């Protein structure tokens, strides 16, 4: 992907700046020679083509790598082939001028393999090291770094001599070091190269060092081993960071699922077994929004989640409101019975969705900004996980502010702490109850929007979250939002740290067992209130 | 030193320097308190003075952060739980009358009887003539003989209070802790309760927590006033109620 | 002492139920075996198997009622005890297959051969003896209940919290039993049983005996449950349910009381599971699913918790309804079940049996009131649910 972008940039650039083409040997006969070459010969030829230092050869090399290079059976002339409407269009490999269409039977594809592709990438890296564009040079140095070859060494060193930008220079130094190791330079130079690579770190560096460890001069063995050792240690650290990240990512999912429950269960004391179904409804709302967008306004697709958020909040909030008014309000003070009634509600909601949409998974698409990933140090972070973490924390803190600062939040806390007193002070308690339950449900709904991005959207979606959500709230301490945050994140991290050693399922079982034991030790969770009042 | 040791050996219940705090709030603050055998003691104090928390500590519901709690000079109550302490002979009546509403008055008393309380002891328990006589005697004492076969749920508020006291008697405790026994009672009932408690105190120690000053006057016993988790004053009702600190903290004006 | 304990159990309704159950235990197999298939009185084998399943569920509901209805512990993990009992029976039945399996291994069950087990895991030893297996039916659920309850009740995990961790318990067990390397057949569980004590599992005669046994075990457990609840211990139990701290301050060890009841109840559930497995021919990790355990609660709630007859009637009624709905309108079963959950909690909090008893009492009271010309007795004492709803 990255390579392709770079080469694209470079193709444009090489046509725009022909002045930089160095006058070496003419690459044309070398390219034509590819027609009859076997893989080994082709490898040599690529080296020679690159050695011309002529950037115009880059499109030909790209085409070769992509398998788009052909030779004409009649005269063995080599062309780049583009599949068009009228069969194959032939393009001159160096000038880019069209040589007209031809039938597929008149030409033969020049075969390529992965080894050749690697060689091509490295060769191209060398070629573009002199580009006037800083970004291209940087990318070229990266390309050499990723696939070092002795052939590139001279090119890198030449480029290094001219380089002025310190960052590019540093990268080129590393590229040079990598190339030095696989060349036949002196032991001292190689020793320096090992040092440079060691400071580079990462999985690539480790790979390079490991690949030369068998062929290296014995006198360098100890340097090499210590370099490998230190990179491995660093790598372990990154693995740990990666685990923490995965854990936080899982934790953010747990937080999303549990946060609505922290209100309905934690604050209101309602055992809402239909909570998972609220999440599920939120996910289906997202699906519906995307369906409408697909048919009526495809251009808005990237905004689908932003549109789905209020929709899901309103839909699930309304469902929650109805449930509170019709069922739960008759059951205050009988927590075990709300558990049963809401379980009944959850069955009905599931079956309703199943009757309307069918039991199979629904396709919910990722907007472009949710897909892909970016590297951080020695690990990769996917955008969807990143956004979900950001999103869950945003919801959490918004909710915290609403509860602590707004008049509604004050009313709500008043009602949950002393219903009678609140009502005699003129707060309309039934209204506050219904709104609070609707709020908890609505938040579950917007959690569903986020979870639709990483989970299968099916009628059973909610069931997979309900037990985890309860565990998080109970573990964190009922009635304490901070407890829910800490509970969710620490359970997520714990889970991901157990996983590598015991496997995913056993890890999950262990976490459950640990929570069960933990509740024995602290029946009121991590952040429990103490005192006489809570025991009454 | 000598006098402290003496009060301790003579005491039935002995609290010294007991402190407990909930999330930084000091509910009990180096409280010292002694009850002698056969004594009837009243405790007064404003809300939040630590009266109920003190009872929680004595009965093992709450563990103190520091301090000594001794029963009969030798048994460390801080190491025991509610059931142990109840079996040692400390009975407790809650602020809100707590009886088994879905059992009859008779069953309530039968459950409270001081007999084998183990799983198998209760599984194979049969009502003996002595137990029957004892229950009838208690019914007489708490004036509920005519309602013995009714569900406790159907009793009036005052009758529930008495039933609970009756259950404590069935437990045959050496020390009775009674939390607000006359809350919600009519004046007649209050007066009768005072008589009942005095009668009970003839054979055992009783500690009564109450807000009703008239009732405490009726009892006519030594009074301890608590405030902010510590003893403010101790002595006869007239002595305590004329203490300026007590007036400021509790009685008002 | 023991006879006194049992004799006390014999109260009118319990005796009637036991008589009915023993009657069913004799009559149904007799009608199945002795009447010709075209007779109007013939009970087909599939119907008997179905009804046998209901009886197992009834025993399971009775087990839950003992802890929930009498002691106030709403266990959402009773399915786990049922499944464990079932697995113990399943292991015995697997060992009885012997060399008749697909792979013909004389010792290892098919799934072990398939998963490359070289030898029998230690916990499968002895399970080929009926007596050992039956002991395990009681011991394994009992032990799990004991360990779990020991920790939970000692640290006073109560009410909703207890419900949630029991649910987590059965969920964790479900995940564990789904794993192939647990040695219980993973996903597929244990099935393809051949015979039990030398009799073919599928034979009509064996099925009839299993059915009769289910009814009789249910009657026996009902007798024991009645003896427990009508003893002084039973009264303490109700006390724990209604006012736990009062019981504690009277000097009872509440944790021991709960633990005993929980263990007895888990053993009942284990027996139910063991009778269930040979009649349906399979046990798999799905039985541990938390949803199953919650369904047990609704059977008990429908029939009436805190009465011993209620859960039996509730389990049979709800499951008969389930069989009918899933056959006639499969789409609507979850609607019906969900609606039942809501309706029972809102309108029938005491369940069918208690509500009917209540109705009788109200009628009696009204008659008495009419005769006495004073309506005072009838209103407040007799209709607490109405008073509650009005609050």
* Residue-wise pLDDT tens digits, A399-417: 999 888 888 888 888 887 7
Question: Do A193 and A246 have their domain in common?
Answer: no
Cβ-defined contact of A348 to C151 (cutoff 8 Å): no
Specify if A231 maps to a domain: no
- Bigger pLDDT: A420 or C265? C265
Q: Is the pLDDT of residue C136 over 90?
A: yes
Question: Do A289 and A394 have their domain in common?
Answer: yes
Reported residue count of chain C is 391
pLDDT of residue C380: 42
Q: Angle at Cα A443 formed by Cα A438 and Cα A446, nearest 5°? A: 125
pLDDT of residue A88: 79
Question: Do A270 and A139 have their domain in common?
Answer: no
Question: Do A194 and A252 have their domain in common?
Answer: no
Q: Name the residue among A123, A116, A172, A137 with its Cα closest to residue A10.
A: A137
- Bigger pLDDT: B185 or C60? C60
Residue found by looking up tokens 């802890």 in the block: C67
Question: Do A131 and A248 have their domain in common?
Answer: no
Residue C1: pLDDT band by 50, 70, 90 thresholds? low
Cβ-defined contact of B83 to C233 (cutoff 8 Å): no
Top residue of B60, B61, B83, B103 to mutate, by most chain C CBs within 10 Å, is: B83
- For A154, list phi and psi in degrees, rounded to 5: -60, -45
Residue A36 domain boundaries: 2-67+110-206
DSSP string, B178-214: EE-TTTT--HHHHHHHHHHHHHHTTTSEEEEE-S-HH
Tokens of A65: 């790598």
Q: Name the residue among B145, B129, B138 with its Cα closest to residue B168.
A: B138
Residue C70: pLDDT band by 50, 70, 90 thresholds? very high
pLDDT 10s digits, C158-186: 888 899 889 999 999 999 999 988 889 88
**Residues from chain B contacting residue C254 (CB–CB below 8 Å):** 83
Q: How far is C-alpha C177 from the chain's CA centre?
A: 21
Q: Are strands B75-76 and A98-102 parallel, antiparallel or unpaired?
A: unpaired
Distance from the Cα of B10 to chain A's closest Cα (Å) equals 32
- For C381, list phi and psi in degrees, rounded to 5: -75, -30
Top residue of C245, C246, C256, C384 to mutate, by most chain B CBs within 10 Å, is: C246
For the domain made up of B13-251, the CATH class stated in words is alpha beta
Top residue of C71, C79, C158, C165 to mutate, by most chain A CBs within 10 Å, is: C165
List chains touching B (3+ CB pairs under 8 A): A, C
pLDDT 10s digits, B81-106: 889 999 999 999 888 888 999 999 99
Q: CA-to-CA distance for B209 and A182, rounded, in angstroms?
A: 91
Cβ-defined contact of B99 to C243 (cutoff 8 Å): yes
pLDDT of residue A20: 39
* E strand segments, chain C: 190-191, 195-196, 199-200, 282-283
Residue found by looking up tokens 């115009």 in the block: A56
Q: Which of A165, A184, A206 is the last residue of a domain?
A: A206
Question: Do A262 and A343 have their domain in common?
Answer: yes
**Average pLDDT rounded to a whole number, residues B131-150:** 91
Q: Is the pLDDT of residue A218 over 80?
A: no
- Taking only residues 113 to 152 of chain A, the set having a beta carbon closer than 8 angstroms to any beta carbon of chain C reads none
Contacts of B166 (CB under 8 A, 6+ apart): B108, B109, B112, B138, B139, B141, B142, B144
Domain ranges of chain B: 13-251
Specify if A148 maps to a domain: yes
**Least trusted range by pLDDT, from A507-521, C25-39, C139-153:** A507-521
CA distances in angstroms from C143 to A458, C196, C264, C343, listed in the order given: 38, 25, 10, 36
**Average pLDDT rounded to a whole number, residues B112-117:** 89
pLDDT of residue A243: 86
| Spatial contact of A49 and A27, defined as CB atoms under 8 Å apart | yes
pLDDT of residue B5: 65
Question: Do A167 and A312 have their domain in common?
Answer: no
DSSP single-letter state for residue C102? S
Cβ-defined contact of C290 to A467 (cutoff 8 Å): yes
Tokens of A111: 């075969």
- For B177, list phi and psi in degrees, rounded to 5: -105, 120
B66-91 in b/e form (b: 16+ CB < 10 A) is: ebebbbeeeeebbebbbbebbbbbbb
Cβ-defined contact of B117 to C235 (cutoff 8 Å): no
Residue A231: pLDDT band by 50, 70, 90 thresholds? confident
Contacts of C355 (CB under 8 A, 6+ apart): C304, C348
Q: Name the residue among C340, C290, C332 with its Cα closest to residue A352.
A: C332
CA distances in angstroms from A337 to A271, A342, A363, B78, C298, listed in the order given: 9, 8, 36, 37, 10
Query: CB distance from B97 to chain C under 8 Å?
Result: no
**Residues from chain C contacting residue B94 (CB–CB below 8 Å):** 245-246
Q: Is the pLDDT of residue C389 over 70?
A: no
Q: CA-to-CA distance for B238 and B222, rounded, in angstroms?
A: 10
pLDDT of residue A3: 57
Question: Do A137 and A273 have their domain in common?
Answer: no
CA distances in angstroms from B137 to A66, A173, C47, listed in the order given: 103, 102, 59
pLDDT of residue B247: 81
Q: Is the pLDDT of residue A300 over 70?
A: yes
- Taking only residues 184 to 203 of chain B, the set having a beta carbon closer than 8 angstroms to any beta carbon of chain C reads none
Counting one residue from B and one from C, how many pairs have CB atoms under 8 Å apart?
81
Q: Which of A183, A206, A229 is the last residue of a domain?
A: A206
Residue C79: pLDDT band by 50, 70, 90 thresholds? very high
- Max mean pLDDT among A238-252, A263-277, A521-535, C227-241 falls in C227-241
Q: First vs last Cα of chain C: how many Å apart? A: 46
Q: Which of A154, A185, A206 is the last residue of a domain?
A: A206
Radius of gyration of chain A measured on its C-alpha atoms: 32
Write down the ipTM of this complex. Answer: 0.87
**Residues from chain A contacting residue B23 (CB–CB below 8 Å):** 529-531
Q: Which residues pair with B22 in a beta bridge?
A: B25
**Residues from chain C contacting residue A470 (CB–CB below 8 Å):** 164, 167-168
Specify if A293 maps to a domain: yes
Could you tell me which chain C residue has the CA closest to the CA of B127? C232
Q: CA-to-CA distance for C144 and C149, rounded, in angstroms?
A: 8
Q: CA-to-CA distance for B222 and B35, rounded, in angstroms?
A: 10
Specify if A223 maps to a domain: no
- Bigger pLDDT: C280 or A18? C280
Q: CA-to-CA distance for B165 and B201, rounded, in angstroms?
A: 12
Q: Name the residue among A528, A241, A304, A266 with its Cα closest to residue A396.
A: A266
pLDDT of residue A532: 42
pLDDT 10s digits, A357-366: 988 888 888 8
Q: CA-to-CA distance for C383 and C389, rounded, in angstroms?
A: 10
- For A94, list phi and psi in degrees, rounded to 5: -100, -45
pLDDT of residue C219: 96
Specify if A226 maps to a domain: no
Q: CA-to-CA distance for B228 and A483, rounded, in angstroms?
A: 31
Q: CA-to-CA distance for A325 and A431, rounded, in angstroms?
A: 9
Residue found by looking up tokens 């700046």 in the block: A17
* E strand segments, C124-241: 190-191, 195-196, 199-200
Mean pLDDT of chain A: 81
Mean pLDDT of chain B: 86
| Spatial contact of B162 and B188, defined as CB atoms under 8 Å apart | no
pLDDT of residue B1: 44
Q: Is the pLDDT of residue C331 over 70?
A: yes
Query: CB distance from A508 to chain C under 8 Å?
Result: yes
Top residue of C150, C158, C345 to mutate, by most chain A CBs within 10 Å, is: C345
- Bigger pLDDT: C367 or B204? B204
Q: Give me the number of domains chain A comprises.
A: 2
Query: Is residue B63 within a helix (H) or strand (E), and if so which, with residue range?
Result: none
Q: What percent of chain B has pLDDT over 70?
A: 96
- Bigger pLDDT: C382 or A61? A61
Specify if A45 maps to a domain: yes
Specify if A233 maps to a domain: no
pLDDT 10s digits, A376-389: 776 788 888 889 89
Tokens of A186: 């002196």
- Max mean pLDDT among A28-42, A260-274, C202-216 falls in C202-216
Contacts of C173 (CB under 8 A, 6+ apart): C80, C83, C84, C288
A489-518 in b/e form (b: 16+ CB < 10 A) is: bbbbbbbbebbeeeeeebbbbbbbeebbeb
| Spatial contact of A110 and A69, defined as CB atoms under 8 Å apart | yes
pLDDT of residue C372: 65
Q: Supply the CATH number for residue A447's domain.
A: 1.10.3470
List chains touching C (3+ CB pairs under 8 A): A, B
pLDDT 10s digits, C35-50: 888 888 888 989 999 9
Q: CA-to-CA distance for A78 and A92, rounded, in angstroms?
A: 8
Q: Is the pLDDT of residue C305 over 80?
A: yes
| Spatial contact of A344 and C338, defined as CB atoms under 8 Å apart | yes
- For A324, list phi and psi in degrees, rounded to 5: -65, -45
pLDDT of residue B4: 63
Radius of gyration of chain B measured on its C-alpha atoms: 19
Q: Is the pLDDT of residue A28 over 60?
A: yes
Q: Which among C246, C260, C381 has the least Cβ separation from residue B119?
A: C260
Q: What percent of chain A has pLDDT over 70?
A: 90
pLDDT of residue C329: 87
Residue A1: pLDDT band by 50, 70, 90 thresholds? low
Tokens of A240: 């740990």
Q: Are strands B13-22 and B25-35 parallel, antiparallel or unpaired?
A: antiparallel
Torsion, CA C122, CA C127, CA C131, CA C137, rounded to 10: 90
Query: CB distance from B165 to chain C under 8 Å?
Result: no
CA distances in angstroms from B110 to B82, B115, B161, listed in the order given: 20, 9, 17
pLDDT of residue B7: 73
Domain ranges of chain C: 2-349
Residue A190: pLDDT band by 50, 70, 90 thresholds? confident
pLDDT of residue A238: 85
pLDDT of residue B252: 63
Q: Are strands C195-196 and B222-227 parallel, antiparallel or unpaired?
A: unpaired
**Average pLDDT rounded to a whole number, residues A156-173:** 79
Q: Is B225 exposed, middle or buried (0-12, 13-18, 19+ CB in 10 A)?
A: buried
């Amino acid at each position: 992907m990255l390579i392709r972008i770079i080469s694209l940039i470079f193709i444009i650039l090489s046509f725009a700046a022909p002045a930089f083409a160095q006058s070496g040997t003419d690459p044309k006969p070398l390219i034509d020679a590819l027609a009859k070459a076997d893989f080994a010969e082709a490898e040599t030829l690529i080296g020679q083509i690159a050695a011309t230092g002529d950037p115009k050869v880059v499109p030909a090399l790209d085409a070769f790598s992509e398998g788009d290079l052909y030779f004409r059976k009649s005269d063995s002339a080599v062309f780049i082939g583009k599949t068009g409407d009228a069969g194959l269009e032939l393009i001159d490999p160096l000038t880019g001028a069209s040589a007209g269409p031809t039938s597929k039977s008149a030409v033969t594809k020049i075969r390529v393999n992965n080894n050749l592709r690697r060689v091509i990438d490295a060769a191209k890296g060398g070629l573009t090291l002199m580009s006037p564009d800083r970004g291209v040079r940087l990318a070229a140095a990266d390309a050499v770094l990723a696939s070092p070859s002795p052939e590139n060494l001279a090119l890198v060193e030449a480029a290094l001599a001219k380089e002025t930008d310190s960052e590019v220079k540093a990268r080129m130094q590393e590229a040079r070091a990598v190339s030095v190791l696989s060349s036949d330079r002196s032991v001292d130079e190689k020793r320096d190269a090992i040092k440079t690579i060691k400071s580079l770190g990462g999985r690539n560096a480790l790979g390079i060092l490991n690949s030369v460890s068998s062929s290296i001069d014995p006198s360098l063995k100890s340097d090499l081993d210590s370099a490998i050792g230190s990179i491995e240690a660093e790598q372990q650290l990154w693995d740990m960071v990666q685990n923490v990240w995965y854990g936080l990512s899982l934790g953010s999912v747990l937080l999303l699922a549990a946060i609505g429950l922290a209100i309905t269960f934690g604050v209101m004391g309602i055992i809402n077994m239909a909570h998972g179904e609220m999440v599920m409804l939120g996910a289906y709302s997202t699906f519906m929004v995307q369906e409408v967008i697909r048919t009526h306004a495809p251009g808005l697709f990237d905004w689908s989640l932003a549109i789905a958020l209020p929709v899901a909040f309103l839909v699930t909030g309304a469902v929650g409101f109805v449930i509170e008014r019709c069922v739960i309000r008759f059951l205050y003070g009988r927590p075990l019975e709300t558990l049963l009634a809401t379980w009944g509600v959850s069955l009905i909601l599931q079956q309703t969705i199943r009757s309307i949409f069918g039991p199979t998974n629904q396709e919910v698409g990722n907007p472009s900004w949710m897909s892909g990933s970016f590297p951080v140090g020695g690990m990769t972070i996917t955008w969807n996980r990143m956004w979900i973490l950001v999103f869950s924390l945003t919801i959490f803190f918004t909710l915290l502010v609403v509860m602590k600062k707004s008049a509604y939040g004050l009313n709500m806390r008043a009602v949950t702490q002393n219903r009678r007193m609140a009502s005699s002070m003129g707060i309309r308690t039934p209204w506050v109850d219904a709104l609070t339950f609707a709020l908890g449900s609505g938040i579950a709904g917007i959690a569903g929007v986020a979870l639709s991005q990483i989970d299968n959207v099916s009628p059973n979606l909610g069931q997979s979250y309900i037990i985890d959500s309860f565990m998080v709230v109970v573990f964190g301490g009922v009635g304490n939002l901070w407890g829910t945050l800490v509970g969710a994140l620490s359970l997520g991290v714990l889970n991901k740290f157990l996983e590598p050693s015991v496997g995913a399922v056993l890890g999950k079982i262990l976490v459950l067992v640990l929570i069960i034991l933990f509740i024995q030790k602290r029946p009121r969770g991590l952040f429990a209130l103490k005192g006489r009042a809570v025991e009454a | 030193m000598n006098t402290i040791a003496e009060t301790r050996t003579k005491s039935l219940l002995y609290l010294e320097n007991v402190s407990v705090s909930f999330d930084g709030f000091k509910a009990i603050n180096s409280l010292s308190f002694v009850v002698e055998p056969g004594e009837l003691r009243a405790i007064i104090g404003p809300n939040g003075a630590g009266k109920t928390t003190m009872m929680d500590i004595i009965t093992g519901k709450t563990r103190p952060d520091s301090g000594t709690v001794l029963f009969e000079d030798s048994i460390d109550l801080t190491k025991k739980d509610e059931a142990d302490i109840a079996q040692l002979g400390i009975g407790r009546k809650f602020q809100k009358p707590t009886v088994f509403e879905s059992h009859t008055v008779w069953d309530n008393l039968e459950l409270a009887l001081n007999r084998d309380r183990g799983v198998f002891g209760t599984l194979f328990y049969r009502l003996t003539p002595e137990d029957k006589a004892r229950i009838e005697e208690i019914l007489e004492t708490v004036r509920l003989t005519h309602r013995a076969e009714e569900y406790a749920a159907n009793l009036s508020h005052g009758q529930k209070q008495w039933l609970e006291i009756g259950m404590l008697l069935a437990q045959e405790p050496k020390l009775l802790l009674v939390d607000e026994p006359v809350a919600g009672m009519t004046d007649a009932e209050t007066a009768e309760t005072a008589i009942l408690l005095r009668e009970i105190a003839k054979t055992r120690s009783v500690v009564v927590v109450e807000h009703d000053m008239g009732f405490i006057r009726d009892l006519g016993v030594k009074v301890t006033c608590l405030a902010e988790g510590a003893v403010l004053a101790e002595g006869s009702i007239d002595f305590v109620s004329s203490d300026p600190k007590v007036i400021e903290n509790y009685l008002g004006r | 002492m023991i006879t006194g304990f049992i004799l006390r159990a014999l109260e009118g309704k319990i005796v009637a139920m036991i008589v009915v159950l023993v009657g069913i235990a004799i009559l149904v197999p007799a009608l199945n075996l002795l009447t010709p298939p075209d007779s109007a009185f013939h009970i087909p084998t599939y119907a008997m198997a179905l009804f046998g399943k209901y009886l197992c569920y009834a025993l399971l509901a009775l087990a839950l009622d003992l802890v929930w209805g009498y002691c106030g512990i709403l266990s959402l993990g009773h399915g786990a005890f049922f499944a464990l009992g079932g697995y113990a029976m399943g292991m015995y039945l697997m060992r009885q297959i012997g060399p008749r399996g697909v792979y013909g291994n004389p010792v290892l069950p098919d799934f072990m051969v398939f998963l490359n087990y070289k030898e029998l895991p230690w916990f499968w030893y002895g399970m080929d003896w009926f007596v050992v297996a039956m002991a395990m039916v009681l011991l394994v659920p009992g032990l799990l209940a004991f360990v779990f309850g020991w920790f939970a009740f000692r640290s006073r995990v109560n009410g909703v919290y207890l419900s949630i961790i029991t649910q987590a318990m059965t969920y964790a067990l479900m995940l564990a039993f789904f794993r192939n390397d647990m040695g219980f057949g993973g996903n597929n569980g244990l099935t393809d049983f051949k015979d039990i004590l030398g009799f073919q599992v599928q034979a009509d005669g064996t099925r009839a005996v299993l059915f009769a046994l289910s009814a009789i075990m249910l009657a026996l457990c009902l007798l024991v449950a009645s003896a427990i609840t009508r003893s002084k211990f039973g009264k303490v139990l109700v006390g724990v349910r209604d006012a736990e701290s009062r019981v504690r301050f009277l000097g009872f060890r509440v944790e021991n009381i709960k633990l005993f009841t929980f263990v007895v109840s888990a053993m009942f559930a284990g027996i139910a599971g063991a009778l269930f497995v040979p009649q349906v021919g399979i046990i798999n990790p799905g039985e541990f699913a938390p949803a199953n355990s919650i369904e047990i609660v609704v059977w008990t709630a429908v029939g009436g918790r805190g009465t011993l007859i209620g859960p039996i009637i509730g389990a049979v009624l709800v499951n008969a309804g389930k069989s009918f709905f899933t056959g006639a309108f499969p789409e609507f079963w979850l609607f019906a079940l969900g609606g039942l959950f809501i309706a029972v909690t809102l309108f029938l909090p005491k369940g069918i049996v208690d509500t009917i008893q209540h109705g009788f009492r109200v009628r009696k009271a009204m008659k008495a009131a009419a005769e006495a010309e004073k309506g005072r007795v009838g209103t407040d004492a007799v209709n607490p649910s109405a008073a509650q709803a009005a609050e």
